[in-house]
Chains A and B, each alone.
Chain A
Amino acid sequence: MTTQEFFEALQRAHVEGSARISAAATPLELTDVRNALIGRKNGSLSQLMRELPSLPEADRREAGARANSARVAIEEELETRKVSLDADTPPQPTLDLSMPGRQSWRGAKHPVTLIIEEIEGIFRDIGFTIALGPEAELEWYNFGALNFPADHPAMDMHDTLYLGKEVLLRTHTSPVQVRTLQSYPPPIRILAPGNVYRRDFFDASHAPMFSQIEGLAVDEGVSFVDLKATLSYFANRLFGKTKTRFRPSYFPFTEPSAEMDVECQLCSGRGCSGCKGTGWMEILGSGMVHPAVLQSAGVDAERYTGWAFGMGPGRMAMLRYGIPNIRLLYDSDVRFLEQFAR
């Protein structure tokens, strides 16, 4: 036996021994265990110690010391176990197990992040990847490339915070559409979450910065049917089985444009004050990508078609979690954020 093998065997004997000691349920069993471990004749530890003289002389001393301390440890464990088994009365519980366990601080993602991740998860399942873009954006990407007419009331919906000449805080995540289309050839299937800005004053449902999530699919043969099918699939994943409806709308960068509603989550479509009696709740804006947008990005608009959508995870978080005031999303009150720990 080499010294190394000796040490390993010693370690094994100790570990096994400890396990058998704790497993012994009666004093009689414990005596058997004692004999099996350190019995003079057949005890496994005793047998091992008889190997000592066969080790190289240089190692003998250390090996002896280790073997001895293992024996001492085993004896102590046997004694402790004996005391607890010998006690006349059944063992008293030393721990009140109803008392609380030791805690550590619980962390949490922001509720808006939870919604974004949920949406991302659904779209990842159907082949979408995440793309990101800058918040300080060029006017061309935010408006020009997206077919916004100059001096037109369409701009009123995008009251803009400017950082300089032709530089602004993006008013939507749609610039990522154009950046992506310029960077990668079709087929494109991306999801672009991010913060966007409007020159809106703070009230219970508006904030000058909020999050948006954008989706874009461009390829040959992509149609309005794909838009409806994919977004309905998404709504059914996010809300559970639900009806959807598409309404005519207007976005300069899509044509046709449609807004999607799902059954009102408050009244299940029966009509309530939350949905003004319609039974529907607006979820997202969408449409077929306007050929002018594809052309802005150098994509052949006769060959390729696409659809896009955008929605506000903040509003959905408020709906999902019953958050009454948008301010709570920004205040960062720890008592609010801790509620989203999982």
Chain B
Amino acid sequence: MNASHDWLNAFVQTSMTPAALRDLITARCATVDDMVSLRADLSEIVIGYVVEASRHPNSDHLWVTRVDAGTGELLDVVCGAANVTAGKRYPFAPAGATLPGGLKLEKRKIRGSLSNGMLCSARELGLGDDHEGILELNTEAAPGTPFTSAMGVGDTRYVIDVQPNRPDLLSHLGIAREISAASQQPMRWPDLPDVSHSFATAPSVAASALRAGSVEVRLEDAAGAPRYMGVVIRGVSIGSSPAWLTARLESVGARSINNVVDATNYLLHELGQPMHAFDVAKLEGSAVIVRRASADERLRTLDGVDRILNPQMTVIADAERAQGIAGVMGGSESEVTDATKDIFLEVATFDPASVRRTRRALGLSTDASYRFERGTDIELPSAALARAVSLILAVAGGEVDGAPVDLYPAPRARAKAVLRVSRVAQLLGEPIPAAEIERLVTSVGFKCAKHEGDSSFDVEIPSWRGDVRAEVDLIEEIARLRGFDSFSEELRPFRSGSVPASPLDTVLKRVREALVMKGLLEARPMPFVSGAERGFVRVANPIAENEAYLRRELLDTLSRRAEHNLSQMQRNIRLFEIGSVFDPGDADLPREEMHVAALILGDRRPAHWTEPPSPAFDEWDAKALGEEITRAVAPGSRSAFRPGEGDVLWTIEIDGARRGEVRKVSLDAPLWAAQAFGAEVSVERLTAEPVAAAGTARYKSVAVSQSPASHEIRYQVLPTTPSSSFDIAVLVPNDMRAEQVEEAIRRSAGTLLEKLTLLSEYRGDSITQGMRSIAWHLVFRHPERTLESREISSRRERLLRTLEGELGVRQRTA
């Protein structure tokens, strides 16, 4: 919503500067996003005080003056105006300034005298046609003061962010009403060039068809148009608008079209009541019919586009065809043109939801639809119509043909709500006296009647405040009108909440810390992927067709991020993400799961001068990463890494259930890129199932739970006896897993085996084809005594026998 400072001042006279008014509107009403000086081209002009003026030595029509422009020194300025007088103030453009129209002033010599700028005439400043002399200013402002602020020249436009619940603020009338309340200054109607008219416009409740002069008006769709007024004006002369009207429209950024259209636009911005003028000569059968469109009915709108309508839309039609789309846009056929003589002026209230649906279906938003879909004041049309007629007669001439029609089949009573003084205090936290409450709400048009005996009010809600329905809405009015800044900011005691900290959040934070400590970088990419018809959740109305699906796994989006990094020539990539993945599931709801994933590629560690270049990340780094994530996700749980197939190196099981995998990741990568590896683990299912039916609750038992997901750690007594150890190296066939051998070792070694470490794997010339040598280090300890060397050597022999006997695995010799 654009509002003009001058226009608002015509409603409420305040002495506020534009900045002060901006702050007031923002604090009490709606946020002013921007404030635009409409004469920014005058921003460099200042007040100049002529200290001396004397004849130019080399000219008989020039003057040499000394001007105080607030710079601390007097400037020599050559002036050609006969009216220049010492001791007076004039608009002054210093050297370096640009005049309206783009002329940049420079220091120059005029007939041998230096001139440091220019004293300006009204025409040079674009303030009129007067070029007789320079503009003498009637002001005491200090020299150097900006001209526009000193003289109040140039309107200011406020760009106001009106929230969708406050259509009453989409007009100067509405904003002025709030300024009047906040500043406690009276409000009045802005003057219009005086052509007074009065009408008998009692709403006609019963009739659905009436005559406005020679035009028959029929309301067939009262649901779409709860109130429809119209009037015929004959003999208008279409032409250009007077300067004041054009200026008003320009002040809010609207363009002048012709006097009649400008008059309706003026009232839209002034009162928030959209109107439309039809050319009566183009209305077939001299009829105006408000009805639903028929299927596939066509209409060329004012913007020249052919629209296909449907029966959900309300149209304004003549006897033959649609001539306008109700509340959205008129048709081009009945548009007011230079040839128009007689007009039918429509001033109506259209149904907000219906206008909104039509606007969306047609993809056509206008100043009118914007206001109608938010809701216009149903009581406003009669006053708006009278004012519009006055204005049109003043700017376009003509005369009213018969009485206006007012089809208003179901007049609406003003809504009422009960307001309790105690509830105001409960919600706002400070007691507000009943008298103050009454003063505040009545200041913006509510009517209060105090209940006998108790401290509450019956409040009548004005017709323009459709957003106010219940007590709580009135309490908002009280808080707003009193000023949010009037409420204390005292921190008061509170009771601690009943909601335990989210166990999932605790896990995610632990995982994040662990991965950051491992040197990984957290990514937060978007979950949209190219996907496929099957297995992916599809967005019904995606932003981009090539990313219409939601990811099934984080490694999908992380891979794209890795590719982005490769395209930026980054060869060392260590990313992780904690986020949701989606699966279509088999029920109505998609299945959402919180996952953790990491992707690594490139050097295992940064280069250091003591070492050869770092090797690249490999499978074993990926496995360690998978183990790290698994430990952080499910500390203390039993996890297993099962060898996978293809690119899947391992699948991860936690407590017997498959929860993730470690794998090679294929990327669209340049030749120089290293192999990428990834690990991904599912943390928890997130369900969108309803907690309870609407309007009810199902409370979880609020027990004092122990720290979520903490696992039991038990202290093990430190050993007091020495350990003994030995190494073995055995030849293991390539198709036998080291895990199998370890299992046999553990079985044979018995309970005194404290630690079993895989030392090395070796393949080489000395090893039989198809075999490898694997070495383990075994540590034994007896909890109570020192093991004798005999015990150790016998264990070693038994172990080798077992391996040979059970697995056919023999000690490596030589």
Binding site for B on A (CB under 8 A): 3-4, 7, 58-59, 62, 99-100, 102-110, 112-113, 126-138, 140-141, 144-145, 150-154, 156-157, 161-165, 167, 169, 179-190, 195, 199-201, 207-209, 211, 217, 219, 221-226, 228-230, 232-233, 245-250, 255-259, 276-278, 288, 290-291, 295-299, 305, 329-335, 337-338, 341
Q: Is B207 an interface residue (CB 8 A)?
A: no
Closest chain B CB from A256 CB (angstroms): 4
**Known contacts A138-B690, A225-B492; A167/B590 CB under 8 A:** yes
Residues on B with beta carbons closer than 8 Å to the beta carbon of A113:
512, 522, 524
Q: Nearest 4 pairs between A and B by C-beta? A: A223-B429, A225-B429, A105-B519, A250-B163
Q: How far is the CA of A250 from the CA of B702 in the complex (A)?
A: 34
Question: Cβ of B574 and Cβ of A248 under 8 Å apart?
Answer: no
Whether B480 lies near A248 (C-beta < 8 A) is yes
Complexed CA–CA distance, A59 and B572 (Å):
56
Contact B497 A338 (CB under 8 A): no
B353: chain A residues within 8 A (beta carbon): 150-152
Q: Is the CB of B702 within 8 A of A184?
A: yes
Given contacts A187-B494, A219-B494, contact A182 B512 (CB under 8 A): no
A92 to chain B, nearest CB (A): 19
Which one of A103, A195, A208 contacts B605 once the chains associate, using CB atoms below 8 Å?
A: A103
B427 and A224 contacting across the interface, CB-CB below 8 Å: yes
Q: Collect the chain A residues with CB atoms within 8 Å of residue B605's CB.
A: 103-105
Of the candidates A186, A208, A230, which one forms a contact with B498 in the assembled complex, judged by CB atoms under 8 Å apart? A186
Nearest-CB residue, chain B, relative to A109: B522
Query: 11 A-B contacts, Cβ less than 8 Å apart?
Result: A100-B609, A127-B497, A136-B592, A136-B688, A138-B690, A153-B164, A161-B539, A161-B540, A199-B543, A246-B484, A247-B31
**Further contacts, 6 of them, CB under 8 A, given A135-B592, A224-B428, A230-B491:** A105-B519, A108-B516, A132-B502, A184-B498, A224-B427, A333-B570
Closest to B572 in A: A334
Roughly how many angstroms separate A250 CA and B473 CA in the complex, as a whole number? 11
Q: Which residues of B have CB within 8 Å of A134?
A: 580, 592, 686-688
Q: Which residues of B contact A233 (CB under 8 A)?
A: 489, 491
Q: How far is the CA of A153 from the CA of B245 in the complex (A)?
A: 31
With A188-B497, A332-B565 given, is the CB distance from A182 to B606 under 8 Å?
Answer: no
The CA-CA distance from A180 to B522 in the complex, in Å, is 28
Nearest chain A CB to B490 CB, angstrom units: 6
Which of B521, B564, B588, B609 lies in contact with A107, CB distance below 8 A?
B521
A183: which of B525, B540, B697 is its contact (CB, 8 Å)?
A: B697
Instruction: Return the chain B residue nearest A257 by Cβ.
Output: B476
Determine which residue in B472, B517, B788 has the highest number of CB atoms from chain A within 10 A of its CB, and name it: B472
How far, in Å, is A322 (CB) from chain B's closest CB? 18
Which chain B residues lie closer than 8 Å to A334 at the CB level?
A: 521, 565, 570, 572-575
> Are A153's CB and B31's CB within 8 A?
no
Question: Are B472's CB and A255's CB within 8 A?
Answer: yes
CA distance A167 to B690 in the complex (A): 12
Residues of A within 8 A of B22 (CB): 278
Q: Which residues of A contact B473 (CB under 8 A)?
A: 255
The CA of A4 and the CA of B722, in the complex, are separated in Å by 8
Q: B1-46: which residues lie under 8 A (CB-CB) from chain A?
A: 19, 22-23, 26-35
**Chain B residues, CB < 8 A from A219:** 494-495
Residues of B that sit less than 8 Å from A by CB: 19, 22-23, 26-35, 163-166, 352-353, 356-357, 373-374, 426-430, 470, 472-473, 475-476, 479-480, 484-485, 487-492, 494-502, 504-505, 512, 515-528, 537-543, 550, 561, 564-565, 568, 570, 572-575, 579-580, 582, 588-590, 592, 605-606, 608-611, 686-688, 690-692, 694-700, 702, 720-722, 786, 788-789
Q: Whole-angstrom distance from the CB of A175 to the nearest CB of chain B?
A: 9
**Alpha-carbon distance between A129 and B525 when the two chains are bound, in angstroms:** 26
> Taking CB as reference atom, which chain A residue is nearest B356?
A151
Chain B nearest CB, measured from A223 CB (Å): 3
Rounded to whole angstroms, the CA-CA distance of A141 and B691 in the bound complex is: 10
Do A107 and B516 have beta carbons less than 8 Å apart?
yes
Q: Hey, which chain A residues are within 8 Å of B480, CB to CB?
A: 248, 256
Contact A145 B694 (CB under 8 A): yes
Asked whether, in the complex, the Cβ of B537 is within 8 Å of the Cβ of A136, the reply is yes
Quick check: B527 and A209 within 8 Å, CB to CB? yes
A59 to chain B, nearest CB (A): 7
Binding site secondary structure of chain A: mixed
- In the bound complex, residues from chain B placing their C-beta under 8 Å from that of A102 are 608, 610-611
State the CA gap A248–B470 with chains docked (Å): 18
Asked if A184 meets B700 with Cβ closer than 8 Å, knowing A62-B789, A127-B497, the reply is yes
Q: How far is the CA of A189 from the CA of B499 in the complex (A)?
A: 7
Q: Which B residue sits closest to A105, measured CB to CB?
A: B519
Note all chain A residues with C-beta closer than 8 A to B568. Answer: 333, 335
When C-beta atoms are compared, the residue in chain B nearest to A231 turns out to be B489
Of A107, A162, A298, A305, the residue contacting B515 (CB under 8 A) is A107
Which residue of A has the minimal Cβ distance to B479?
A256
A59 to B473, CA, bound (A): 92
Report yes or no: B490 in contact with A208, Cβ–Cβ below 8 A.
Answer: no
Please name all residues of chain B whose beta carbon is closer than 8 Å to the beta carbon of A259 when the two chains form the complex: 31
Which residues on B sit within 8 Å (CB–CB) of A129? Answer: 497, 499-502
Q: Shortest Cβ distance from B441 into chain A, in angstroms? A: 14
Closest Cβ–Cβ distance, residue B251 to chain A (whole Å):
19
B699:A183 contact, CB within 8 angstroms: yes
Tell me the bound Cα distance from A332 to B574 in angstroms: 10
B589→A167 contact, CB < 8 A: yes
Name the B residues within 8 Å of A180 (CB-CB).
499
Q: Is the CB of A225 within 8 A of B29?
A: no
Most chain A C-beta atoms within 10 Å of own C-beta, residue among B550, B575, B694: B694
Expressed in whole angstroms, the Cα–Cα distance for A313 and B789 within the complex equals: 65
| B495 pairs with A187, CB closer than 8 A | yes
Question: How far apart are B160's CB and chain A's nearest CB, in angstroms?
Answer: 12
Q: How far is the CA of A7 from the CA of B476 in the complex (A)?
A: 82
Q: Do B496 and A189 touch across chains, with their CB atoms under 8 A apart?
A: yes
A100: which B residues are within 8 A, CB to CB? 608-609
Which residue of A is nearest B591, CB measured? A136
Is there an interface contact between A190 and B427, defined as CB atoms closer than 8 Å? no
Closest B residue, CB atoms, query A127: B496
B523 touches which one: A110, A145, A183, A338 (CB < 8 A)?
A: A110
- Docked Cα-Cα span, A245 to B489, in Å, equals 11
Nearest CB in chain B: distance from A115 CB, A:
12
Within the complex, the shortest CB–CB distance from B442 to chain A, in Å, comes to 19
Cβ A223 vs Cβ B561 within 8 A: no
- The 8 Å CB contact of B697, one of A140, A298, A330, is A298
Q: Smallest CB-CB separation from A290: which chain B residue?
A: B472
| B519 smallest CB distance to A (angstroms) | 3
Most-contacted residue by chain B among A183, A187, A248, A299 (CB, 10 A): A248
Bound CA–CA A75/B524 (angstroms): 60
Highest count of chain B CB atoms <10 Å: which of A99, A182, A226: A182
Residues A140 and B694 in contact, CB atoms below 8 Å apart? yes
Q: How far is the CB of B678 from chain A (nearest CB, A)?
A: 14
Contacts of A296 in B (CB 8 A): 694-695
Give chain A nearest CB distance to B296 CB in angstroms: 24
How long is the Cα–Cα vector from A182 to B700 in the complex, in angstroms?
A: 9
Shortest CB distance B729–A (Å):
25
Q: Could you say which residues of chain A place their CB within 8 Å of the CB of B695?
A: 295-298
CB distance from A147 to the nearest CB of B (A): 11
Of A151, A228, A332, the contact of B484 (CB 8 Å cutoff) = A228
Shortest distance between the CB of A197 and any CB in chain B (Å):
9
B524 to chain A, nearest CB (A): 5
Q: By CB atoms of chain A within 10 A, which of B352, B518, B522 has the most?
A: B522
Q: B686 near A250 (CB under 8 angstroms)? A: no
Q: Which of B19, B27, B592, B686 has the most CB of A within 10 A?
A: B686
Knowing A183-B699, A190-B499, A333-B565, the reply to whether A207 touches B33 (Cβ < 8 A) is no
CB-contact partner of B606 in A105, A132, A184, under 8 A: A105
Which of B29, B475, B537, B565 meets A248, CB within 8 Å?
A: B29
Tell me the bound Cα distance from A167 to B88 in angstroms. Answer: 73
Given the complex, which residues of B lie within 8 Å of A329, measured CB to CB? 524
* Interface pair B475/A255, CB less than 8 Å apart: yes
With contact pairs A145-B694, A330-B524, A334-B572 given, residues A305 and B427 touching in the complex (Cβ less than 8 Å) = yes
